[in-house]
């Protein structure tokens, strides 16, 4: 009998070497392995006949062995067999696989899957005994990532073995609490050995549900803890008059929305309960100055403030911006190793270097920029401090009301829903295949005229995907090669992504800010608020793969200095709904409206796809699946949480330095 916590070392078929390989990938228990879902599935459930074989699509048929042979053609041995059914005969062939002939006894029938090669032979077909419960053929077959270092057939057998002998802890199994919820064990079978495609969808929805339940639970817990925190915060009496609200040093007039949010925050800071507020505003709407005003007043009164950015680039940008907006407060940029004094009242800006030292900084206020990079769990870490700081989280991700009520119910909300005056909307175009070459020429022309401009080119993936259903999805590695050729001797092209060495990432970033790079090929990392003043053009490959909110964030990266920005969406999708979506995006410039549009028009269908690149930190669920979110809330309300043990308890994030990109 296995259960979720059984070590994989104790699982039949897994030896020590295999175990160590898996452990390196963070997979050491039965639960870890079962939750490592197949990359995709092959549908071998339809049984065809020999006459149906083609060189295009793999099919499965039942064949009877008529002859076999084994011969050598150096450097390898070759095994071959002929099988027949009532529609014909076909030759099967293997290299260096002498065991196969032991299995293929003359006169016996097998389930065989494969497709023809150019010579009309089946090379290395899957062959399986004709039993009702086959693993590799005659059914929908899971395909796992090669990164586990286990041969796929073996992995299938191991997982099948586990599922046949698995005992699920009742407290983990939601079916114990609800009649209409499927047993977890079945769900896992659906995900690994589905009988129909519907079962895969059902399985994924269930994991998404599990994930949402944990988020709701965490949110409720934080809300409760927070409500008990009266008089435990840094009790600050600010008493700021309207006249004192904004320091003279701010060189522009705040928008009405900025003013409203600033007042609200200043009021919160004077309460005897710590603030936990989310500040939402489109990219470029000016959240930083709002947070800065709050920091300013606290520091003027002798408190410290911490600002946590998701990346080093952003931290140093905030440092520069805030120093110029608020020249008369002490502002420090902290790196992980820096040995600065932390006890003077100041604004401390950094990434994990700040998070790790919150106990020394003892801030009255912690500001998190771009909250989606940090899990809920992560942020509540600051609760462990003796004095509870106020918390302000800034994000450009529009979070619809339903989500706000369900999953972020522990947060108060301020929205900046207008842009500073004088911003030019980014001109956005949907570009088809036939216009690709001429767009490159157009970009080249723009680069050569007028003021200095930079181009950001975004690809969904870093490398070609091993998952064949992502064939044709642009990746940084290949695109960089292509673009380097296109712009050879015309522009300096560079690439940046999270799998590059940190040092390389830093070098590229420095060159980028020094204006030495004209075209940057990258992943959606730029989404996270990087302020490249000279970026004027953003090109997004496979635009159909991104949610509109993500696209909008990406688009917000250009034209930040007030120059005209351009956004080119490359998409070869022929689906009408996709094209319509992207066309809406070209016209609509309001982030919240775009997010709502997506919510109404996408939803459950997305669950089968990849998670939206970059935007979320959910593994299975999708923020856009409103229906699931509302049913998660209903289920959570009815769930006896004392008896329930969440399957997907949130693992706390490692406190290591965040990479620049991901
Ligand atoms: P985001 O909300 O994306 O974080 P920022 O805070 O970085 O936006 O602001 C974007 C730019 O707009 C900054 O250069 C900032 O100084 C400027 N800015 C902010 N508010 C105003 C305003 N009311 N008028 C003019 N410029 C502003
Ligand atoms: Mg920002």
**Tokens matching residue 396:** 């450009």
Residue 655 pLDDT grade (very low, low, confident, very high; cuts 50, 70, 90): very low
pLDDT given at position 604: 28
| Beta strands 454-458 and 535-540, pairing class | parallel
pLDDT tens-digit series, residues 195-247? 888 898 889 889 989 988 988 888 888 788 777 776 666 667 788 888 999 99
pLDDT tens-digit series, residues 108-166? 888 898 999 988 999 999 888 776 667 777 778 888 877 787 888 889 999 999 999 99
Residue 7 pLDDT grade (very low, low, confident, very high; cuts 50, 70, 90): very high
Q: Is 173 helix (H, G, I), strand (E, B) or coil?
A: coil
Ligand 1 atom nearest 281 alpha carbon: 2
Choose between 546 and 333: higher pLDDT.
333
Ligand 1 atom nearest 325 alpha carbon: 16
Q: Is the pLDDT assigned to residue 33 strictly greater than 50?
A: yes
Question: Over the chain, what is the mean pLDDT?
Answer: 85
Span of 77-86, 170-179, 363-372 with lowest mean pLDDT: 363-372
What's the average model confidence in pLDDT over 387-407?
78
pLDDT given at position 377: 40
Cα separations in angstroms, 209 against 37, 562, 633: 16, 43, 10
Q: Is the pLDDT assigned to residue 24 strictly greater than 70?
A: yes
What's the average model confidence in pLDDT over 160-173?
94
pLDDT given at position 310: 80
Q: Are 278 and 412 in contact (CB under 8 A)?
A: yes
Torsions phi, psi of 541, nearest 5? Answer: -80, 150
Q: Is the pLDDT assigned to residue 600 strictly greater than 80?
A: no
pLDDT given at position 219: 81
Ligand 1 atom nearest 258 alpha carbon: 23
Q: Is the pLDDT assigned to residue 381 strictly greater than 60?
A: no
Residue 658 pLDDT grade (very low, low, confident, very high; cuts 50, 70, 90): very low
Q: Are 436 and 479 in contact (CB under 8 A)?
A: no
DSSP 515: T
What's the average model confidence in pLDDT over 32-42?
88
What's the average model confidence in pLDDT over 339-363?
89
Tell me which ligand sits closest to the C-alpha of residue 557: 1
Ligand 1 atom nearest 561 alpha carbon: 14
Among 475-484, 501-510, 610-619, the range with the most confident prediction by mean pLDDT is: 475-484
Torsions phi, psi of 402, nearest 5? Answer: -60, -40
Residues, Cβ < 5 Å to ion ligand 2: 529
| Share in percent of the chain as helix, strand, coil (round to 5) | 40, 20, 45
Pocket-forming residues, ligand 1, beta carbon under 6 Å? 252-255, 258, 281, 283-289, 396, 420, 529, 531
pLDDT tens-digit series, residues 579-590? 999 999 999 988
Nearest CA to ligand 1 atom 23: 254
pLDDT given at position 623: 59
SS (H, E, C) 521-580: EECHHHHCCCCCCCEEEEEECCHHHCCHHHHHHHHCCCCCCCCCCEEEEECCCCCHHHHH
pTM, full prediction:
0.68
Q: Are 393 and 279 in contact (CB under 8 A)?
A: yes
Nearest CA to ligand 1 atom 5: 286
Residue 490 pLDDT grade (very low, low, confident, very high; cuts 50, 70, 90): very high
Residue owning tokens 């196969």: 100
pLDDT given at position 660: 31
What's the average model confidence in pLDDT over 567-589?
91
Ligand 1 atom nearest 255 alpha carbon: 23
Q: Residue 297 Cα, ligand 1 centroid: separation in angstroms?
A: 19
Q: Residue 255 Cα, ligand 1 centroid: separation in angstroms?
A: 10
What's the average model confidence in pLDDT over 263-286?
88
Q: Sort 345 into a burial class: Cβ within 10 Å, 0-12 / 13-18 / 19+.
A: middle
Q: Residue 40: enclosing H or E segment and its boundaries?
A: strand 40-43
The percent of residues above 90 in pLDDT, for the chain, comes to 44
Q: Residue 286 Cα, ligand 1 centroid: separation in angstroms?
A: 3
Q: Residue 36 Cα, ligand 1 centroid: separation in angstroms?
A: 42
Choose between 501 and 399: higher pLDDT.
501
Nearest CA to ligand 1 atom 15: 286
Q: Is the pLDDT assigned to residue 91 strictly greater than 90?
A: yes
């Amino acid at each position: 009998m296995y259960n979720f916590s059984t070590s994989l070392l104790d699982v039949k078929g897994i030896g020590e070497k295999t175990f160590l390989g898996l452990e390196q990938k963070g997979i050491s228990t039965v639960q870890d392995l079962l939750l490592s879902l197949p990359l995709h599935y092959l549908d071998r459930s339809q049984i065809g006949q020999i006459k149906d074989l083609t060189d295009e699509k793999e099919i499965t048929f039942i064949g009877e062995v008529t002859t076999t042979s084994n011969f050598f053609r150096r450097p390898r041995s070759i095994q071959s067999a002929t099988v027949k059914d009532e529609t014909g005969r076909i030759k099967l062939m293997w290299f260096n696989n002498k065991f196969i002939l032991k299995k293929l006894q003359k006169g016996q029938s097998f389930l065989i899957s494969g497709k023809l090669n150019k010579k009309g032979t089946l090379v290395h077909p899957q062959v399986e005994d004709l039993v009702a419960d086959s693993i590799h053929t005659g059914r929908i077959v899971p395909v796992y990532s090669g990164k586990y270092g286990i041969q796929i057939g073996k992995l299938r057998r191991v997982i099948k073995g586990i599922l046949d002998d698995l005992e699920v802890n009742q407290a983990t199994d939601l079916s114990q609490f609800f009649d209409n919820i499927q047993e977890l064990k079945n769900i896992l079978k659906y995900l690994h050995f589905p009988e129909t495609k519907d079962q895969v969808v059902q399985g994924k929805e269930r994991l998404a549900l599990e994930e949402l339940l944990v988020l709701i639970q965490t949110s409720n817990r934080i809300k409760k803890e927070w409500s008990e925190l009266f008089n435990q915060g840094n009790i600050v009496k600010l008493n700021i008059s309207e006249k004192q609200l904004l320091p003279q040093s701010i060189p522009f007039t705040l928008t009405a929305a900025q003013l409203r949010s600033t007042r609200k925050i200043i009021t919160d800071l004077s309460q005897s309960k710590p603030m936990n507020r989310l500040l939402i505003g489109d990219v470029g709407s000016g959240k930083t100055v709002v947070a800065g005003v709050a920091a300013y007043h606290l520091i003027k009164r002798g408190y410290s403030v911490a600002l946590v950015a998701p990346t080093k680039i952003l931290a140093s940008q905030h440092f520069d911006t805030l120093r110029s907006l608020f020249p008369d407060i002490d502002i420090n940029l902290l790196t992980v190793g820096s040995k600065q004094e932390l006890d003077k009242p100041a604004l401390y800006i950094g990434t994990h270097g700040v998070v790790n030292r919150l106990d020394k900084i003892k801030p009255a206020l912690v500001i998190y920029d771009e909250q989606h990079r940090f899990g809920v769990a992560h942020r509540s870490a600051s609760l462990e401090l003796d004095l509870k700081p106020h918390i302000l989280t800034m994000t450009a991700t529009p979070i619809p009301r339903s989500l706000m009520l369900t999953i972020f119910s522990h947060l108060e909300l301020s929205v900046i829903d207008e842009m500073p005056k004088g911003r030019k909307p980014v001109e956005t175009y949907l570009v088809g295949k036939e216009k690709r070459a001429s767009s490159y020429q157009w970009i080249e022309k723009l680069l050569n005229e007028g003021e200095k401009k930079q181009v950001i080119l975004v690809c969904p993936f870093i490398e070609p995907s091993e998952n064949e259903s992502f064939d044709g999805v642009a990746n940084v590695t290949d695109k960089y090669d292509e673009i380097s050729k296109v712009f050879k001797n015309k522009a300096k092209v560079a690439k940046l992504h999270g799998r590059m060495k940190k040092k390389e990432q830093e070098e590229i970033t420095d060159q980028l800010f020094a204006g030495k790079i004209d075209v940057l090929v990258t992943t959606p990392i730029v989404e996270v608020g990087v302020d490249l003043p000279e970026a004027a053009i953003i090109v997004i490959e496979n635009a159909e793969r991104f949610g509109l909110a993500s696209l909008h964030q990406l688009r917000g990266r250009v034209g930040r200095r007030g120059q005209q920005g351009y956004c080119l969406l490359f998409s070869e999708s022929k689906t009408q709904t996709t094209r319509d979506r992207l066309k809406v995006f070209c016209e609509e410039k309001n982030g919240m409206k775009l997010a709502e549009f997506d919510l109404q028009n996408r939803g459950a269908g997305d669950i089968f796809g990849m998670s939206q690149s970059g935007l979320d930190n959910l593994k299975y669920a999708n923020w856009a699946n409103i229906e699931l979110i509302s049913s998660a809330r209903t289920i959570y309300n009815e769930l006896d949480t004392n008896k329930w043990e969440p399957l997907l308890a949130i693992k706390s994030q490692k406190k290591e330095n965040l990479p620049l990109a991901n």
